[in-house]
Structure 1
Amino acid sequence: MIAQLNPKAIIDRKAFPLVEAALADTRVVLISGPRQAGKTTLARMFSDRDRPYFTLDDASTLNAAREDPTGFIRGIRRAVIDEVQRAPDLMLAIKASVDEDETPGRFLLTGSANLATIPAIADSLAGRMAVVPLLPFAQAEIRSSPGHMLDRLFSGEEPVIEGDVVLGDEMMRMVLAGGYPEVLRRSSAARRISWLEDYVSLILDRDVRDIANIDQLDRLPRLMNILAEHAGMLINNSSFGAALGLSGVTTQKYIAILERLFLVKTLVPWSNNRLSRLVKTPKLHFIDTGLLAALREDEFARLASDKTRFGSLLESFVLSELMKLASWSERRMSFSHYRTKDRDEVDVVIEDRRGRIIGIEVKASATVKADDFRGLRQLQAAVGDRFVRGLVLHDHDRITPFSERLQAAPLSILWSM
């Protein structure tokens, strides 16, 4: 059974202190992430009589914000405004308001689209807005564990096992569940899949219209299904589009829209001038593996009998957990993947501002061989002293050293460290 959340339970979000700190010194704070990730619940914790709550999912509020954004904002000293991407012109009115009154913490916004990718919005609040990412629940949040693995590794610590280790069938069920709060509150796989199907339909039908004008909206559900079958693989826009009668350019545009809505993640290729045989194609991942599994119709019984399909799910799961760890870290980190034309690879390359690198390879098996470190060794040789650590995360309960700064480790260290 998948661990089910108590519907009344409030799980402490690692982003809470980040929002609190940002409100103390920044005029506008945006909580940014996918729908149903918990943004409203978090934002309402900061709402009171002096900071009233408005949601643009309410039709009358949305109409008022769209028809007269300046009038809507006029007279509001402080507010929480939910789903602000539904009325983009509101951002200019907020800019004018906070330029007149520079008091910190005036507006706490939530957005279910990456507003940083919309130039007019990003430019209008440059220097005035702090962005706090909020993805679906991380395992560190569900389990009330530290979730400091990346910070500790970049600080020079060795990987350690702290707390319970999740293995085998329990790991598979955890990956299949994903992190959406509403999914984790449902007791059966059928109920979880039903919610996820409705969720995708709502986003593709309504939220896409809020952020983009596209001619062939009906192609998006089919594109999502195609992308799900290619999760963890290199992106081939021409191939994806051909199945739908779309050009490669149009397919690329549509994938960018899905990424802006936090449904998928394109992982850029890592580059280095010293290496000439690197593949320069991004890889495709899904932000939530519960959603990915639902689109692929991957249920526990199917994966238990055909574990070859589990590898790509697990790789997306690890990337998502790493992104969540980075989202509440004070370190700025970038993510990429390493792959050569000889197909040597490192699933996730994490680089900090100082150019230091951690490499993560993901294996669904319990056994790790020296050859599984081939890509990590190449990466280590390419960056030299900037290489902090290389880990093969796999289905095991021990840490096994393979050479200096290269180890196999349980997947559980993603949340237990």
Structure 2
Amino acid sequence: MVDTVLRKPLIGRKARPVIETALADTRVVLIAGPRQAGKTTLARQFSGSDRAYVTLDDAGALNAAKTDPVGFIRGLNRAVIDEVQRAPELILAIKESVDREDAPGRFLLTGSANLATVPAIADSLAGRMAVVPLLPFAQSELRSTPGRLLDRLFAGEEPETGDGTVFGDDLLETVLRGGYPEVLRRATPARRVAWLEDYVALILDRDVRDIANIDQLDRLPRLLDVLAEHAGQLVNHSSFGAALGLSSVTAQKYVAILERLFLVRTLTPWSNNRLSRLIKTPKLHFLDTGLLASLREEEADVLRENRTRFGALLESFVVSELLKLASWSERRLSFSHYRTKDKDEVDVVIEDRRGRIVGIEVKASATVKADDFRGLRQLQEAVGDRFVRGLVLHDHDRVTPFGEKLHAAPLSILWTM
């Protein structure tokens, strides 16, 4: 199925209508996501005679932007500026320009670093900029399906299977491929791994320098390898740092940089006053499982036999797909995880602005037992009527009820609903 889809000349991005809407009423729009996720391809669709395209990957443009940011922006009425994090000096010049001429859609920016997390930049463009996340391809984009799972769950619908159900070896291959466009064009695992290795080297060498001052840049590749082995586990900066001879504080700083570059994502712990035995430690995930599998040197034959190692990949895959679904939903959703000191857990807790909750637990096995819902039942009891749905997503092709608002469901409902 995936190979058939990939022969299409251009895969539609769910973010496009979100960007169109933002450009119609907001002065500055930022497409934020990892390098090589497809930001440039998408942004160029909005350039033309009335909106110039400029990339700061071009040495001449970058030099001009850094040397005279005000003059650089003054020469642009409406523009697409690609990889804007390479010249953060432009941000204040853009603010000055859009304050003087406040028409919507003035600037469409792309950034391979999460500029919205930088206080100076966020404050400068507060009220003037909309941020649209763009991660590597979601399965619903690759398969041309609606991708409305979260909206439908919060609307009260029960999970259901549909066309495009994937399980077994097909699910394993889907997880191992990930979503980077360049990886999906490569036919063999060896070619995919070669590209991903070059990709990581480029980001850790050049992109890190654009956003941070790091004394021990050579430690970052090793740190990324350490984090890959801890994917799906609680964050322990002391342990990460000890493996590399770094202090806990330095390790925490470096992990935050990798998060700003959209390589990893930490989920904050969910909290509730009614429960006193909750773990208050974030959980670590990778935003692309093709990259995660490459760093862990995972192979399909080994993962078929070792479901524990596949489980770590699968959980990050689910988190990534859920974040992608949320990025084009009209609902404002927050993500966290639930874990008690007794090790009862819910892998992903999704909460809307009304405080309503959907809980997701991920299992690599085809069989689900009542005990697999223990964490979800605790969460359901803690929040009462605010509990919308609890799902155990697993390697299967059918939906099975396990109680009121509780179901086991195929992983593929992430794109079939």
Bucket of the pairwise TM-score, normalised by the shorter protein = over 0.9
AA in 2 matched with 1:313: L
Deviation at residue 307 of structure 1 after TM alignment: 2.2
Instruction: Provide, for residues 241-274 of structure 1, a one-character-per-residue CA deviation record: whole Å limited to 9, x for no partner.
Output: 0010000010000000000000000111000011
Change (3 A) 1:213 1:25: same
Instruction: Provide, for residues 284-326 of structure 1, a one-character-per-residue CA deviation record: whole Å limited to 9, x for no partner.
Output: 0000000000000001122123222100000000000000000
CA distance in 2, matches of 1:371, 1:277: 19
CA distance in 2, matches of 1:174, 1:340: 31
Q: Could you say which residue in structure 1 is the equivalent of 2:354?
A: 354
AA in 2 matched with 1:155: A
Deviation at residue 416 of structure 1 after TM alignment: 0.6
Determine if contact 1:2/1:173 at 8 Å carries over to the other structure: no
AA in 2 matched with 1:38: G
Instruction: Provide, for residues 323-371 of structure 1, a one-character-per-residue CA deviation record: whole Å limited to 9, x for no partner.
Output: 0000000000000000000000000000000000000000011100000
SS at match of 1:238: helix
CA distance in 2, matches of 1:278, 1:410: 28
Whether 1:233 aligns to 2:233 is: yes
Whether 1:28 aligns to 2:46 is: no
Deviation at residue 34 of structure 1 after TM alignment: 0.5
Consecutive unaligned residues in structure 1, runs of 5 or more:
none
Q: Could you say which residue in structure 1 is the equivalent of 2:274?
A: 274
Change (3 A) 1:164 1:2: closer
SS at match of 2:126: coil
SS at match of 2:391: strand
Determine if contact 1:366/1:396 at 8 Å carries over to the other structure: yes
CA distance in 2, matches of 1:89, 1:64: 11
Q: Could you say which residue in structure 1 is the equivalent of 2:113?
A: 113
Q: Could you say which residue in structure 1 is the equivalent of 2:65?
A: 65
> What is the number of equivalent residue pairs in this alignment?
417
How do 1:206-217 residues align onto structure 2 when only pairs under 5 Å count? 206-217=206-217
Q: Could you say which residue in structure 1 is the equivalent of 2:291?
A: 291
How do 1:72-83 residues align onto structure 2 when only pairs under 5 Å count? 72-83=72-83
AA in 2 matched with 1:234: L
Deviation at residue 2 of structure 1 after TM alignment: 6.9
Determine if contact 1:28/1:130 at 8 Å carries over to the other structure: yes
Deviation at residue 215 of structure 1 after TM alignment: 0.8
Consecutive unaligned residues in structure 2, runs of 5 or more:
none
CA distance in 2, matches of 1:9, 1:385: 46
Q: Could you say which residue in structure 1 is the equivalent of 2:364?
A: 364
CA distance in 2, matches of 1:308, 1:215: 36
TM-score where L is the length of structure 1: 0.99
Whether 1:11 aligns to 2:11 is: yes
Determine if contact 2:307/2:365 at 8 Å carries over to the other structure: no
SS at match of 1:268: strand
Q: Could you say which residue in structure 2 is the equivalent of 1:330?
A: 330
Q: Could you say which residue in structure 2 is the equivalent of 1:385?
A: 385
Determine if contact 1:5/1:184 at 8 Å carries over to the other structure: no
CA distance in 1, matches of 2:355, 2:317: 25
Q: Could you say which residue in structure 1 is the equivalent of 2:85?
A: 85
Determine if contact 1:311/1:364 at 8 Å carries over to the other structure: yes
Spell out structure 1 runs of 4+ moving beyond 3 A: 1-8
Deviation at residue 64 of structure 1 after TM alignment: 0.6
AA in 2 matched with 1:347: D
Q: Could you say which residue in structure 2 is the equivalent of 1:40?
A: 40
AA in 1 matched with 2:416: S
Q: Could you say which residue in structure 2 is the equivalent of 1:222?
A: 222
Q: Could you say which residue in structure 2 is the equivalent of 1:252?
A: 252
CA distance in 2, matches of 1:173, 1:46: 34
AA in 1 matched with 2:176: L
CA distance in 2, matches of 1:185, 1:357: 37
Q: Could you say which residue in structure 2 is the equivalent of 1:146?
A: 146
Q: Could you say which residue in structure 1 is the equivalent of 2:343?
A: 343
- Percent identity over paired residues: 78
AA in 1 matched with 2:133: P
SS at match of 1:403: coil
Determine if contact 1:351/1:358 at 8 Å carries over to the other structure: yes
Whether 1:175 aligns to 2:187 is: no
Q: Could you say which residue in structure 1 is the equivalent of 2:312?
A: 312
Q: Could you say which residue in structure 2 is the equivalent of 1:408?
A: 408
CA distance in 2, matches of 1:414, 1:5: 17
CA distance in 2, matches of 1:64, 1:325: 38
Determine if contact 1:28/1:108 at 8 Å carries over to the other structure: yes
Instruction: Provide, for residues 50-90 of structure 1, a one-character-per-residue CA deviation record: whole Å limited to 9, x for no partner.
Output: 11110001111101101110010112110000000110010
CA distance in 2, matches of 1:67, 1:125: 21
Determine if contact 1:7/1:185 at 8 Å carries over to the other structure: no
CA distance in 1, matches of 2:271, 2:25: 37
AA in 2 matched with 1:268: T
Determine if contact 2:5/2:143 at 8 Å carries over to the other structure: no
Change (3 A) 1:8 1:97: same
SS at match of 1:235: coil
AA in 1 matched with 2:182: E
CA distance in 2, matches of 1:176, 1:16: 26
Deviation at residue 5 of structure 1 after TM alignment: 6.0
Instruction: Provide, for residues 194-244 of structure 1, a one-character-per-residue CA deviation record: whole Å limited to 9, x for no partner.
Output: 000000000000000100101100000000000000000001100110010
CA distance in 2, matches of 1:75, 1:221: 40
Determine if contact 1:370/1:402 at 8 Å carries over to the other structure: yes
